[in-house]
Amino acid sequence: MGLEISLENRVALVTGGGRGIGKAIAGALASAGARVVIASRKKESLEQAAAELGSNVVGIPCHVGRADELEELVTQTESQVGPIDILVNNAATNIGQGPALQTDTAMLDKMVDTNVKAALRLVHRVVPGMIDRGHGSIINIVSISGLKPQPGGLLYSFTKAGLIMLTRAWAREFGPRGVRVNAIAPGLIQTEFSAYFWDDEARRAELVGDQPIQRLGQPNDIGIAAAFLGSDAASFITGHTLVIDGGATA
């Protein structure tokens, strides 16, 4: 058996694929041979990312917090590219940073809409087709903050912990019907999303200096793992949360 990861003839949908981790995941999936749809809100940056990633990648604008746009995203993906084999729930938001007692239910609703309900809606829309075809792979991008509370990030941790539990529950239910469901829990990865943690020299040194692997994670550290989990090379792996954090939680 060869060691190469092949995603030839596979179709992947990556939410939040316009930059950062989602863009790296799309690039890794396309490098392995998949045809990939990336989806995020800003049309211009999305189209630019798709052009950079090559002819196997197309961008379809979508706000994942809106049910009608998610429905349209799947319909467009299926008609333009084909039935979805790999779904990567990557888009997320992190509002409501601060002390627990300063968070409110409006923040909670927005966090749940974007970080949890979008994944649930896409799974409900896409998994029946995967089951009919006898195979599929779902990858949920969570966070080490879903395993251990992020200081000042109660709602973020709550939504990521919820997605970890959905991952395990979906894996149990869909596994016998050929659909695997896994999560990736990144540590600190150098993207726009996490700039607060790394653009200040002292804060960055404190965080990275405490890690066994003493560098910032890069989006491609996650992209490579997603290509593996999406492929048949990972056919015995489901219900798993793969921590990729330079050892920060070791």
Ligand X SMILES: NC(=O)c1ccc[n+]([C@@H]2O[C@H](COP(=O)([O-])OP(=O)(O)OC[C@H]3O[C@@H](n4cnc5c(N)ncnc54)[C@H](OP(=O)(O)O)[C@@H]3O)[C@@H](O)[C@H]2O)c1
* Residues 96-115, interacting with ligand X (CB under 6 A): 114
Tokens of 186: 């990144």
The answer to whether 140 contacts ligand X (rule: CB under 6 A) is: no
> What's at 162, amino acid-wise?
G
* Residues 19-58, interacting with ligand X (CB under 6 A): 19-22, 40-42, 45
Shortest Cβ distance from residue 63 to ligand X (Å)? 5
Shortest Cβ distance from residue 208 to ligand X (Å)? 12
Which residue in the set 13, 28, 32, 91 belongs to the binding site for ligand X (CB under 6 A)?
Answer: 91
The answer to whether 93 contacts ligand X (rule: CB under 6 A) is: yes
> Which residue lies nearest ligand X, judged by its C-beta?
20
Whether 37 and 77 have beta carbons less than 8 Å apart is answered as yes
- Residue 23 neighbours by CB under 8 Å, 6+ apart: 17, 38, 49, 53, 219
Shortest Cβ distance from residue 10 to ligand X (Å)? 21
Shortest Cβ distance from residue 162 to ligand X (Å)? 13
Shortest Cβ distance from residue 154 to ligand X (Å)? 15
| Phi/psi of residue 65, nearest 5 degrees | -80, 0
Between residues 117 and 177, which has the closer beta carbon with respect to ligand X?
117
Between residues 113 and 175, which has the closer beta carbon with respect to ligand X?
113
Between residues 137 and 145, which has the closer beta carbon with respect to ligand X?
145
- Of 28-36, 51-59, 86-94, 234-242, which segment contacts ligand X by CB under 6 A? 86-94
* Catalytic residue status for 156: yes
The answer to whether 211 contacts ligand X (rule: CB under 6 A) is: no
Catalytic residues: 156
Residues that bind ligand X (CB under 6 A): 15-16, 18-22, 40-42, 45, 62-65, 90-93, 114, 141, 143, 186, 188-189, 191-194
